Structure 1
């Protein structure tokens, strides 16, 4: 995945502030119990228009609000608030390349959220320069983790909560320790769930499948976009249970996520996938995805929101 360097400024507590001034107390709920939910947004730099275009802003804010509802963070959040914060921060930072933004809402006071109010919550939004990772072109290898993905009855994966990512952190640490680029987690039933930051797709014999939303995965916006783009090529995606052995027998495997975009998988558990190189369907999907994200003012899908002129 892309390395994210620390920016000089961040949106925090209603304004653009120096990075080092964005602080919460060590006894806040966000520190003690990871009481926060977040989103990840990509902004694609358009040189001709001298501005960024952010992908699926409304969908990300809607999912953020849904996560807040489930974990009982009692603060309203609106698309206008997020786009204003994005615009002001991007204008101050002046980045002229692709960026990654992470709007986050957190609880500062109110034990286990009981008795909390909107005044007890905070909102921050950093924006990072985010060049395309080498793995997007070259592919990466994955390990099927010994750690299982949590399910809806324990820590619901459809909620993009910081607390859920400790499970994914353990899996990724295990994978990188063993020399792999990423971990693929199975759900409690032993079927494929997702990676630490992306949905998993498999293609075998011309048929594409991805775990269904009830398999213990995030309701990924990039996953939905990939399904939409594949349908435009006449390739239907089966949303169903995916078995572990299907990963080993697939002609192509690829990941879809905001930060990793469309990333080819070239090996799993020491077995080659697609001759250790990205497959033709993955390459075609990458081209379609990047073309859609870089349409600028010519966007016809309604995916893009314009940032400020720089």
Structure 2
């Protein structure tokens, strides 16, 4: 299933050039598995190679933090280094396969159990809070599904967040040209409280969830993790699993609010967006119009 809120900034980005490894040097490079150029080394390790970017370092820091504060099964980083313009890391390979590959062979009960297991671990993450919305090293959070990069010509930029008011102000920057000022203020005022900011993986989808024998065995790709709004992990997690998360993680009001926010940001002129926003603003407080989790495309 596609991400609930796709990162549309990738559509404008230049793809990373393809890199060919000289496999004649070793017979251990046996599998190329994705756009970040991870390679399986024999059966126990994975080599990741990417142009040097911040989130490769952040992933290592985040994994160490999560290992210290939760019992979540994690890929252990064996070694990491810079080589020219690239950053490389070797990590232990988790057993099993990604949920998207395993899904055809899983029963509905298996998916429910996996969702519950993932949710329990995410609940452990949520016990770690911060007065600021930030990465572990103090940088602003990097998930562009929350803060879509603004045009280079824009005269304002995102700033740090310590309060709901500051988060509303930041989020409004990406939509203030899409609706009139009064409508924007009314809509932003209905944003559910984001406090306390909680540590979130921020990329829980089928390709990052590892399973074996119908059970959850670990989460991959921790480069986006950081302290986000308390509702962000639930809102941003894949639909397939989020219905089975524990009640402490669920927030249907936040999901509906962000679904409408995303539509305003990405498709402001579509009739569905206009009708959805109008109905939402005319409705009484704290009443959700979503009977269950839906993707923006379904609304």
TM over 0.5: no
Q: TM-score, normalised by structure 1?
A: 0.26
Higher strand share: 1
